[in-house]
Structure formats: structure tokens, C-alpha cells
Structure 1
């Protein structure tokens, strides 16, 4: 006697693995577990054209063709310096919902402000003039997000995560 076939999910859905709170999807080796599927993104699979990354040298005779993580690219660390973030924060072209003021001691940026501005600086660097807006937002790769979070950690250890435009503008 033949059993009735069980109802199965389509093959594409059945073979997809969950990304949230996992890191199996990371190929740059710098990503961290993220709380949502949307944020579980590696720089090597980002849909934004990135700068040409150098090859990683293993020995004098051997070179790998694998891309390095964008956070190791020579142009990345300077973007996170306080002086760059301060200048970018004060640029009139930055379209903050309200004109924020530095909320740190002596009129400096707070760590939270630095972190939020760093996310925008990295996007500006990568986008090279491409405009983002209300219906054209980009999620930063996990490795980028965590590099920024490690440099400018939240005092509570809690982070908001990716927000749509209306929610994000109210944060700064």
C-alpha cells in the first residue's frame, strides 16, 4: 500500500537556512550573530559595489583570491575616527530630521551619536554619491555594524538595529 505524499514546502524554502542568531552565512570571518534575518548580511554578499579589496597574502609564494573583509580595507578605519565623525555630523548636507546638537561633555559627540554618525559615514563612503531615501535604504553588513559597535559601544550593551527611515531619523 502506497502512502499519500506528505505536503512539503517548495524546495527553495525547505533548503533555506535561518540566518538570524547564526553566522554560517559569513565568509569574511568578521560577522557576528544578528537578531534579524535582514541584518544577517556579510560584506561579501552586499548588493552595493564596494571598493576593490586587496588580496590577503598568506606567504611569499602563495596568494589567495578571497576578498578580505571590508573592515580590514585600509580606507575603513579612518572613517571611524572622532574627527571625521565630528566633521560629518556638522555638514549641512546631512539630512537629519532635526538639527541635532552634540550632547557630550564640552559640546562633543556622545558615544551613541558617534556610532549613529559612523553608520552614515560608512554608507556615504561606499555609495560614492548614490542617494538613499525613504524607500531606498540599505542594511549595513554585520561585520561593519560590529566594527562600529566595538569602537563606539553602547553603555547599556543594547542596540537598536536596522530601522526604517521614519524610525531612524528620530534616533539622532
Structure 2
């Protein structure tokens, strides 16, 4: 018996399905449907060639703004010029998002960060440290969240985005860890508890 090898599904649809399957396996191999990637802004994610680990971790050749530092993970090894939503925030003739007044001055101003922290406290179910007990890590965390909200808007719990290396370094310089140990980016899928987000 001869089989009909013609597909009743158009070639374009087969290719779209194949790419969607590949993306879901690359993005999170153990989860076929990733609700975090249903945003239409990520439709072209497979069109961008993915660099190898060696190309990102051993140098800063990937940096386009000239202010990035080597980072410990692939997710953190990203330049502000590689993220379209961040490039939209650039000032005219600017090479780096750190040159923006909001990032360069407001995000590293202690009084402004304290105001942001207080604002965030008003949305928390669990009790945060009082402002007088804030540590440098609280300043960094608040600033990272403020930057993310400024660029992407409110993402909601478990929807995180890596912050460009240049911005991370700028924030760490303003609010350094006393022991020079930093947590870094944690993917929401790897984090077991996200109750402290605002």
C-alpha cells in the first residue's frame, strides 16, 4: 500500500510549529508550554543567533555600549543596546542607558530609592525592613525593580528580565556589597518563592 506523503498542513504552518517547539525546548526543556513567552514581543526570538557560552562569559566583546563588565552567567551577560525596550529609552546621541538622567542620577539617589522602597512596601503582604534598617542589598533590589518597571512596565510575579551588565555595575557601584558578593539574576522558574515581589 502506497502512503500519501503530501501534508494537509501548509508548509508555513509546519515550520511555525517546528520553531515554536524548538523555542519551548530551548527556553525550558522540562516545560512544553511556557506562559512567560506568549508575549508577542518575543515572536522573533529565534531569528536572533544565540551566542555560545564562551563568547559571552570569557570577555566583553558582546558589549556595544562600552560600559559592560564580565558577568557570571549567560543571562546576565547582556548589553543595554541588545534589548529593544531599553534602546527605546535612550537619549539622542547616547551610547548607553546609564547616560540617561533617570538611571545616572535618580536610580542611584538614596532619597529617591527610599521613596521607591516605601512605595513598594505599601503593596507588600509580608512586612519588609523599616527604612531605617535598609541595607545596601535592599537599595540594590529596589533599584533593580525600579529599572525593570521603567523599561518594561509592571511584569507581575514570576516574570523577570535580566538587567544589562552596565546598569548592574552602575547600581552596584552606588550600593556596594560590603563583602563584594552579589546574588545576580535568578530566573523565576528556578526560584521557588516569589512572594516578595512588587
Q: Normalising to structure 2: TM-score of the pair?
A: 0.63
3-state DSSP class of the match of 2:101? coil
User: Are 2:142 and 1:117 aligned?
Assistant: yes
Counterpart contact for 2:98–2:166, Cα < 8 Å: yes
Aligned length: 144
Q: How does 1:129-168 map to 2 (within 5 A)?
A: 130-165=153-188, 166=191
The farther-off stretch of 17-26 and 154-163 is 17-26
Counterpart contact for 1:102–1:110, Cα < 8 Å: no
Separation of aligned partners in 2, 1:115 and 1:168 = 19
Question: Per-residue CA shift, 1:115-162, capped at 9, x if unaligned?
Answer: 1111111112222xx331344211000000000001111001110100
Counterpart contact for 2:158–2:194, Cα < 8 Å: no
RMSD (CA atoms): 2.7
Q: Which runs of 5+ in 1 are unaligned?
A: 1-11, 56-66
Q: Which has the higher contact order (CA 8 A, sep 6+)?
A: 1
Q: What corresponds to 1:101 in structure 2?
A: 129
Tell me which protein shows more helix as a share of its residues: 2
Q: Which runs of 5+ in 2 are unaligned?
A: 1-48
Separation of aligned partners in 2, 1:27 and 1:158 = 26
Tell me which protein shows more strand as a share of its residues: 1
